[in-house]
Chains A and B, each alone.
Chain A
Amino acid sequence: MKKKIATILLLAIISLQVYNIYAIQRFPKPEFESGHTQPPTVTPDPRAQALDILDTFVLVAALSVVTWLVIKKRSRKGVFWMSVFAVLYFGFFREGCICSVGSLQNITLALFNPEYSIPLTAIAFFILPIVYTLFFGRTFCAGVCPLGTLQDIFALKPMSIKTWLEKVLGIIPFIYLGLAILYAATSTDFIICRYDPFVGFFRFDATFMMFSIGGVLLLTGIFIARPYCRFLCPYGALLNLVSRFSKKHITITPTECIQCRLCEDSCPFEAIDKPVLLKEKEERPIAVRRFLMYTIIIPVLILIGGYTGSQFHENLASVNTKVRLANELLNETNYGETEQEAFEITAFKAAGQSKEELYNEVAAIIKKFYIGGWILGGFIGLVFGLTLVSLTIFKYREDYTPNKGTCLSCARCVDYCPVLPEVKTELQ
C-alpha cells in the first residue's frame, strides 16, 4: 500500500514537469536584419556546488602532486605533464575561471565591499597556492597555474637577460598588483581579468587586441621564458614575497653541491643565485654606511611614491564608470558623441538619480582614490627601495641555489645536477 502511495506521489511530482509544455512565450521573438534566429530562451542551471568542490579538490590534488614531484621526486618530466594537465583542466575545461591570479581581486573586493559575497571557491583558490608556497615554494607556478604552464610549454629556446634588467622589469608585477588591488578595492574594475592574455585562448573568444597580446607573449615566451609570469603577473608578485619564507624549497642539488657549474645556465628564468665568495665582501665601514643610507632612502622613496600617487588620484579614478559619468555630465562632453546623446547618459537619466547624488557619490569614490593613491605610491616606492637594496646587498653564498623569490620550481635545473642521493650514500 505504502509503495503504491509512494508511486502515485512520484508520478504526481513528475507530471508537474509537463506543465512547462503549456508555457507560451510572453512576447514574440524579435527579428534580426542579419537573418539571425533567436535561440529558444533557456535558464541555465547554476553550476553545481559539487563541481565547485571538485575544482577545489583538483586544485589541492594538483598542488600536492606537483609539490611531491618537485620536492620529493625531483622530476622535471612529471612537472611537465602536470603542466599539460593544468592547461587542459584549469585552462580549456574550466576556461581559465576561477583562477588564483584573478582571485586576489575577489578577496580584495570582499574585504572592502561588505555587499560582495565571495564564493568559497575563490577563497580556496587564493589561499591554497599561498599556503603551499609558504611551505614548498612556487610549485603552483610550476605546474598548476594554467597561465604559467601554457607559457612554459612554449619556452623552447630560452635566452638569458641581464640581472639588472630582470630586476627592473620585475618591478612591473608589483605595480600591477598595487593597481589591481586599488581598482578592486574601489569596486572599479577587475583589471587582471580584463587583461588576462590567455583566457581568450582557453575560451576561444579572444578580442583581436587580447589575441594579439596573448600571441605576442607566447611568441616572446619562446625566447624569454614565461614573460607574463616574470614581468606582469600580480599573483606571482605575491607568491614571490611569500616564497622567500618557504622552508622546504626545491634545491638544485639533492645533497652537497660539487661546484660542477653544470646548472649555471640551466634556468630559463634567471632564478639561480650563483656563489658569492667571501673575498668579494666589502669592508665593514662601507657596508654600515650603505645600510644607514638605505635606512634613510627607503622611507624617503615611500613618501615620494605616496605623494606622487596621491597627486595622480584623479587620473587613477578617471576609469571608474561613475567618475567618468560625472565628468561627462559636468563638462557636458557627452562621451565625445556629437550626433546623439550617449547611451550612458540616457541610462543615467532613466535611472532617476539626481546629478547631486551622483556627484556626492563620486566625491566619496575620489576620496578613496586619494587614500589609495598614497598607499599605491608608497608601496611602489617601497618596492623600488627594496629592489635597489637587493641589487647591492652582499649575500655570502657557497653553492648554486635557486632564488626563493623568483624561482618557479619548474625543476629544470635538477636534471642538470649530476649529484644523486644514491651516489652520496655510496660515497659515505
Chain B
Amino acid sequence: MKQKITIGFLLVILIGVIVVMWQDFYKSKNKSQKNPYEYNIDKLKNIDPELIHYKEVLQLNPDINELISIDIDDNDNIYVTGAGKVITYRTNGTVSQSFEIDSTAYSIDVSNNGNIYLGMLNHIEVYDRTGNLKSRWKTLNENVITTSIATTENSVFVADAGNKIVYHYDLEGNLRNEIGKKDTLKGVPGFIIPSPHFDLLIGNLGRLWVVNPGIHAFENYDFDGNLISSWERTSMQLEGFSGCCNPSNIAILSNGSFVTSEKGLERVKVHSPSGDFKSVVAGPDIFEEGTKGIDLAVDSKDRIYVLDPVKKLVRIFEKK
C-alpha cells in the first residue's frame, strides 16, 4: 500500500514536470522578453545641482533654418551660421549685421584681422567683416567633411572628419601640412571619428588642441604636427566622456580650462587643462533628447555660449 502511494505520488510529480514544460513552452511568452542589453542612461541624466556652477542669463534666437556653428571675435561680437546665412550679434544680443551665403556652413571662425572663415561641406570660404566674399579654397582630398576651423595670425587649421585629418593652411589657402595622421613612430595614434563631430581650437599658449572623439581624448599638437601632449577621460559619469564620439565640441576659457559638449548624454561641462572634471554648465534636462552638435564659444569675460541646434537658440551662461 505504502509503495502504491509512493509510486502514485511520484507519477503525479512526473506528469507535473511535463505540464510545467508544456506551460513554459506554449503559455509563458505573453510578455515581451526584456532586452538584457538595453542601453539605459536615464540615471546618468540626473546631475547633482551642487555641481552646476553656471546659470543661463540670455538666449538669442537667430533666424537661421539650420543653426550649426558659433564663434566670438576679440570684441565679443557673436557670429552664428548654418544654412545660407551668417548673423552677427553685439554683446548685448542685438543683431549688428547679417549676410547670405550660397550653401550651408558647418563651422565658423573669426580671425584676429576680422576675416570670417566658413567651413563649407568640402571647401573654405573667406569673407571680410562686412560679408564680402574674399576667397574660396578648394580642398585637395575627396570626401572632405569640414567640421571645425581655427585661425592664428599666419595659419588656418581645418578639421576634416571625412579623412580624419587636420589641414594646416596659410592665410592664402596654401596647404602647409597635414596633422594627426597615424604615426606609431612619433606616437600619433590617429583620429578615430565614427561620426562627423571633430572639433579643434587654438589654446592659450598658441598651440593646437584637437579632439580625438573615438577615444575621448584631447591631443595637443605643434604646428608641424608633432604631438606634444594629450589626455583622455572615458567615463559614463561626469568625470569623463562616453559613447562612440565625445566630446563633440569644445571651447576654451581664459584660464586654459576646456568647455566641452557631448551628444547622447547631452551635457556641457568644464574640464581643467589637464582633463579633470571641474563643473557642469548645463545638464541634459535643458536639451531635447537626441540633440547633437552643441557648438560652443567663450567670450573675453568667460561667458559660455551654447548653440542649441534643435531649439535653434544661442544660450548664454555665466558663472553663478
Contact = CB atoms under 8 A, between A and B. Distances in A.
Interface in B188-235: 189, 192, 214-216, 234-235
Contact of B10 (A22, A30, A220): A220
Interface in A206-243: 209, 213, 216-217, 220, 223-224, 227, 231-232
B190 to A, nearest CB: 10
A324 interface: yes
B247 to A, nearest CB: 13
Given A22-B184, A220-B10, A28 B216 contact: yes
A236 B288 CA distance: 61
Given A342-B32, A343-B32, A161 B192 contact: no
B24 interface: yes
B214 to A, nearest CB: 7
Nearest to B25: A319
Contacts of A427: none
Contacts, number: 79
Interface in A130-187: 159, 161, 165, 169, 172
Interface in A246-290: none
B32 A232 contact: no
Nearest to B240: A28
B11 interface: yes
A213 B13 contact: no
Contact of A172 (B18, B29, B192): B18
Nearest to B189: A24
Contacts of B75: none
Given A315-B26, A336-B32, A343-B32, A31 B237 contact: yes
Contacts of B3: 159
A209 B31 contact: no
B25 A159 contact: no
B141 interface: no
Q: What secondary structure prevails in chain A residues at the interface with B?
A: helix
Interface in B16-32: 16-18, 20-21, 24-26, 29-32
Contact of A223 (B6, B43, B242): B6
Contact of B29 (A22, A224, A319, A343): A319
A191 B43 CA distance: 39
B215 A159 contact: no
B35 interface: yes
Nearest to B15: A169
B184 A161 contact: no
A155 B267 CA distance: 65
Contacts of B38: 343
Contact of A224 (B10, B21, B30, B214): B10
Interface residues of B, number: 36
Contacts of B25: 191, 194-195, 319
Nearest to B234: A28
B21 A213 contact: yes
A33 interface: yes
A334 B31 CA distance: 9
A361 interface: no
A201 interface: no
Nearest to B194: A27
Interface residues of A, number: 38
Contacts of A342: 32
A159 B7 CA distance: 7
A232 B30 contact: no
A336 B30 contact: yes
B250 to A, nearest CB: 18
B242 A220 contact: no
B175 interface: no
Interface string A47-82: 000000000000000000000000000000000000
B216 to A, nearest CB: 6
B33 interface: yes
A335 interface: yes
A234 to B, nearest CB: 13
A231 B214 CA distance: 58
Contacts of B133: none
Interface in A19-51: 22, 24, 26-31, 33
Contact of B35 (A227, A315, A343): A343
A108 interface: no
Contacts of B21: 195, 213
B26 A318 contact: yes
Contact of A31 (B7, B18, B33, B236): B236
A335 B31 contact: yes
Interface in A90-142: none
A138 B5 CA distance: 31
Nearest to B26: A319
Contact of B6 (A159, A227, A343): A159
B244 interface: yes
A220 to B, nearest CB: 5
A344 B33 contact: yes
A161 B26 CA distance: 30
Interface string A195-210: 1000000000000010
Given A28-B234, A159-B3, A209 B24 contact: yes
A337 interface: yes
A324 B244 contact: no
Contacts of B13: 216, 220
B51 interface: no
B244 A217 contact: no
Contact of B32 (A172, A220, A224, A344): A344
A31 B242 CA distance: 9
B14 interface: yes
16 contacts: A29-B234, A31-B242, A159-B3, A191-B25, A194-B25, A209-B24, A220-B13, A220-B14, A227-B14, A315-B26, A318-B26, A335-B30, A342-B32, A343-B35, A343-B38, A344-B33
Given A27-B244, A31-B242, A220-B13, 9 more contacts: A26-B192, A29-B234, A31-B236, A169-B11, A195-B25, A223-B10, A232-B18, A335-B30, A336-B30
Those 6 A-B pairs whose CB atoms lie nearest each other, nearest first: A335-B32, A342-B32, A28-B234, A343-B35, A31-B236, A336-B31
